[in-house]
A and B are shown apart, each in its own frame.
Chain A
Amino acid sequence: MLKPLEITKKPARNYSRAVMAITWKDLAAELRSRELLSSMLVFSLLVIMIFYFALELDVKARNGITAGALWVTFAFAGTLGLNRSMAVEKDRGCLDGLLLAPVDRSAIYFGKAISNLVFMLIVEAIVLPVYSVMYNINLFNPGLLMVTLLGSVGYIAVGTLLAAISVQTRTRDVLLPILLFPLAIPVLVAAVKASSGFLLGLDMSEITPWLNILIVYDIVFTAVAFMVFDYVVEE
């Protein structure tokens, strides 16, 4: 027979523990299956190879399109990951399991967003050196890495929220990019402009406005998701 448990009254501790539990669960499951990372990675490498063979660019032109090519790759690969990450929860009914936990439901959002961000950053950490070698461009620029992080945070912040909406529909694979890309335009434009600025060695005064847009976008969409996630996931 089970012994009775005392009900804990530490909401802040519950919240952070739930966020970490979801992230841990996603990373542990992915470590075993490697479904999500492998599909994101293969897709990303194919995209940069297609760019490489299709455009046959000279050195100057390569510098000009690098930021755009990178962010197109990251955005498409990120969409694949976001779709899969939520589909895993829905297909086995596990989303209900998460929603039944006695924590504020925004903890589910933050747990999923952190694991999605980790997956996206892992893909980016592999794609950047490969791109660097293929296109013979030095991408190990601290500014560019910072933009990659800020852009990824914004993309994942809005993407995780929209993936939670689209996964509840029958057309989830198609619906996510349709919802996500229009909303992600500001973060993608700002990320491309800021990345391009760092690669072309522009003055910081020209790059700072784009960095500010990225920071504001990250904060606004994280706050919006925190406020509306509960309504998005409940019937």
Chain B
Amino acid sequence: MIEVKKLVKRFGLKTVLRGVDFHADAGEFVILLGPNGAGKTTFIRILASLSRPSMGQVKVAGFSLPDQSAAVRQRLGVVSHMPLLYDDLTAEENLQFYGRMYNIDALQERISTVLDLVGLSARRRDMVRTFSRGMQQRLAIGRAVLHDPDVMLFDEPYTGLDQDASEMLDVVLKNVAAAGRTVLMSSHDLARAEELGTRFDILTRGIISASCTRSELGTRNGSFIGGNLLTFYKQALAG
């Protein structure tokens, strides 16, 4: 579903990604971990076709970037810490707008289903500016799944959420992943990442420096993977 080879991204003289190799199979929930400035957001923006790679090959859902970016965007849902919603439109109007941008047929029915999924049916006619941060983020997920994407990218979606809103977002994220989508999420929240992810990749100094699956975390006691994600993460950063 996602295949990246030798990806390099430069901004002027600064090289942010230095040859990233990455893959995610259909149905995988991959968590991308790494310190601030490691290039996680840049990596996700390239996969989302919001940024052009300087070098390397990127394929999402079988289509190459940047050449087939429209086809990739049709199959891609993106949620970042910004909700990408319009404050002066209602929840329903926001979804109507994005539904038209994706040319979705039977849009009204689809919007109702999505609002049910994210638990906002009762607030469908309220302005987004009256929503809490948690509700905005749930609606942002609704916006991202509206066109039924095969691949979902989440860039630190828990930023700024309180405990209740985070737990509610957990439920929505699990529903999204349960539909068989490939999910890539960057996060600093290791406890939450360990609960949600099926694989964990560490991005440091512009490369994927370590990777392991959930089963490896739990069962292996090898030299660099400890019993939990925190140990694995610390050892990966130290190495």
Contact = CB atoms under 8 A, between A and B. Distances in A.
Contacts of A76: none
A14 B103 contact: yes
Given A2-B148, A96-B78, A97-B98, 4 more contacts: A17-B101, A93-B80, A94-B86, A96-B48
12 contacts: A2-B117, A5-B105, A29-B86, A92-B82, A92-B84, A94-B84, A96-B50, A97-B85, A100-B84, A102-B73, A103-B70, A234-B66
B224 interface: no
B6 to A, nearest CB: 19
Given A1-B179, A7-B74, A104-B70, A20 B86 contact: no
Interface residue tally on B, bucketed by range: 35 or more
B3 interface: no
A170 interface: no
B4 interface: no
B71 interface: yes
A234 B45 CA distance: 10
A169 to B, nearest CB: 14
Contacts of B147: 5
A95 B45 CA distance: 13
Contact of B101 (A4, A7, A93, A103): A103
Which of B51, B84, B85, B179 has the most chain A CB atoms inside 10 A of its CB? B84
The 4 tightest CB contacts between A and B, nearest first, are A93-B82, A97-B84, A21-B100, A102-B74
Contacts of B145: 2
B86 A25 contact: yes
Contacts of B93: 25, 28
Interface residues of A, number: 37
A21 B70 contact: no
B179 A25 contact: no
Contacts of B11: 235
Contact of A96 (B52, B74, B82): B82
A2 B114 contact: yes
A130 interface: no
Contacts of B148: 2-5
Contacts of B89: 25, 28-29, 32
A86 interface: no
A29 B88 contact: yes
B88 A33 contact: yes
A43 interface: no
A98 B78 CA distance: 12
B76 A8 contact: no
Contacts of A94: 84-86
Interface in A1-51: 1-5, 7-8, 10, 13-14, 17-18, 20-22, 24-25, 28-30, 32-33
Contacts of A7: 74-75
A25 B104 CA distance: 16
A93 B45 CA distance: 13
Contacts of A29: 86, 88-89
A8 B113 contact: no
Interface string B83-108: 11111110001000110111111000
B70 A234 contact: no
B100 A20 contact: yes
A98 B83 CA distance: 12
A22 B74 CA distance: 18
A96 B49 CA distance: 10
B105 A8 contact: yes
A211 to B, nearest CB: 36
A18 B52 contact: no
Interface string B130-156: 000000000000010101100000000
A79 B98 CA distance: 27
B84 A21 contact: no
Contacts of B86: 25, 29, 88, 92, 94
Interface string A76-109: 0000000000001000111011111111100000
Contacts of B82: 92-93, 96
A21 to B, nearest CB: 4
A100 B73 contact: yes
Contacts of B49: 99-100
B44 to A, nearest CB: 11
Contacts of B88: 28-30, 32-33
B13 to A, nearest CB: 16
